[in-house]
Amino acid sequence: MTILQNTQNLCDRRVNLRGDRVIGLLALLMTSLFLADWGQAIESLRFVGASVLQIAPFFTAAVGFAAFAKASGIDRLIARAFSGAPFVAVMAGSLAGALSPFCSCGVIPLIAAMLASGVPLAPVMAFCIASPIMDPEMFILTAAGISMEFAVAKTLTAVAMGLLSGIAVLALQKSGYLLQSLKPKADTGCGRTAFDPLAPVDIDMRFWKDPAKRTVFWDQARTNGFFLGKWMALAFFIESLMIAYLPADAIAALVGSENALAIPLAALVGIPAYMNGYAAIPMISGLLTLGMSPGAALSFTTAGAVSSIPAALAVYALVRRPIFVLYLGLGTFGAIGAGYLYQLITTI
């Protein structure tokens, strides 16, 4: 079955700003902020613009690759690569996530492309959980800004959480749950059928020579870019408000002293307070100086990377509610468990 047969007539999804609830919510929030705090409104717009520019190369590459994969038929080949032995696929997703240079928001277009291409949910979840926690550049900066021990612990946590998340999905699917992944409106595979790993794959690397396949490419790039872009713009705007109105000293007061609830509190505080992996490094270093335990620090940075509000908004826009709840649960409780384990190891 060719890619054109899988996208019969293409979904007629035009970029429509009028009546879009996400655009409307963003406009309402911006208008309210301008009325309440003009100076912060200007700073928030600057922050959104800078964040969009920072993520633009990754976002463009991911959306472009997704469109290329759909138009050329490579998406079916990728799906086949992750449709082998389930545990091997989950392990590959975990390792690929820990090594990929994507933040929690930048990885969303790739996740959308993989799910829409028919890649099984288990390796995608493993990739989704592991990817924002660590990447090669973050490892170097974490080792320099905090410690090599902390960087290694965070890397192992990324792989372990990805692996356990994938296994959890496999177990639930074996019991008959989580059989549908994408929300109907987020299904970027217009009219796609269930993926058959044994079906022949029609690959056309020179798709641009075919007018119909060029149409597939531009339709996918436009609709995917707009759908994911509007949610990321909203996420960055909310992130700017958190930076402005969540003081770091208040966070330190909650998780800065050692107590029985320091690690779970750090995870819960990390979800709304965490911004991005690179900006968090000096913040975590400062919190450790203030007395935060190593386990709480790992819990904070791990839960924040996976389940922060900007990342959660992007995931919520993409997947069905049970999977979204599972994503938040895996990120939060996985971070708490990793924090306790790391605390135990550092005190031996």
Q: What CA–CA distances, in Å, run from 317 to 87, 127, 229, 325?
A: 28, 18, 11, 13
pLDDT tops 50 at residue 7 = no
Q: What is the pLDDT of residue 334?
A: 94
> Beta-strand (E) ranges in 104-165?
none
Higher pLDDT, 159 or 57: 159
Say what percent of the chain tops pLDDT 70.
Answer: 72
User: CA 271 to CA 248: how far, in whole Å?
Assistant: 14
Q: How does residue 93 score in pLDDT terms, banded at 50, 70 and 90? A: confident
Q: How does residue 185 score in pLDDT terms, banded at 50, 70 and 90? A: low
Q: Which residues pair with 319 in a beta bridge?
A: 182
| In the chain, where the domains are located | 18-347
Instruction: Specify the 3-state DSSP secondary structure of 173.
Output: helix
Confidence (pTM) = 0.66
Structure tokens at 182: 């994408």
pLDDT tops 70 at residue 255 = no
Structure tokens at 17: 């700003």
Q: What is the pLDDT of residue 2?
A: 36
pLDDT tops 70 at residue 192 = no
Helix axes 21-36, 211-245, angle to 10 degrees: 30
pLDDT tops 90 at residue 165 = yes
Q: What is the pLDDT of residue 78?
A: 61
pLDDT tops 70 at residue 340 = yes
Q: What is the pLDDT of residue 250?
A: 64
User: CA 4 to CA 143: how far, in whole Å?
Assistant: 48
Long-range contacts of 287-290 (CB under 8 A, 24+ apart): 287/251, 287/252, 287/255, 287/256, 288/146, 290/252, 290/256
Higher pLDDT, 201 or 345: 345
User: CA 198 to CA 125: how far, in whole Å?
Assistant: 23
pLDDT tops 50 at residue 342 = yes
CB 305 within 8 A of CB 132: yes
Which pLDDT tens digit goes with each residue over 194-227? Answer: 444 445 556 777 788 888 888 888 887 887 778 7
- What does the pLDDT average to over 58-72? 75
Which pLDDT tens digit goes with each residue over 277-334? Answer: 666 776 677 678 767 888 999 998 898 888 777 677 778 878 888 999 999 999 999 9
User: CA 192 to CA 32: how far, in whole Å?
Assistant: 41
3-state helix, strand, coil split of the chain in percent (to 5) is 75, 0, 25
Q: What is the pLDDT of residue 166?
A: 94
User: CA 90 to CA 326: how far, in whole Å?
Assistant: 16
pLDDT tops 80 at residue 40 = yes
Q: What is the pLDDT of residue 82?
A: 66
Say what percent of the chain tops pLDDT 90.
Answer: 23
**Total length of the chain:** 348
User: CA 49 to CA 311: how far, in whole Å?
Assistant: 17
Higher pLDDT, 230 or 100: 230
Helix axes 262-273, 248-255, angle to 10 degrees: 160
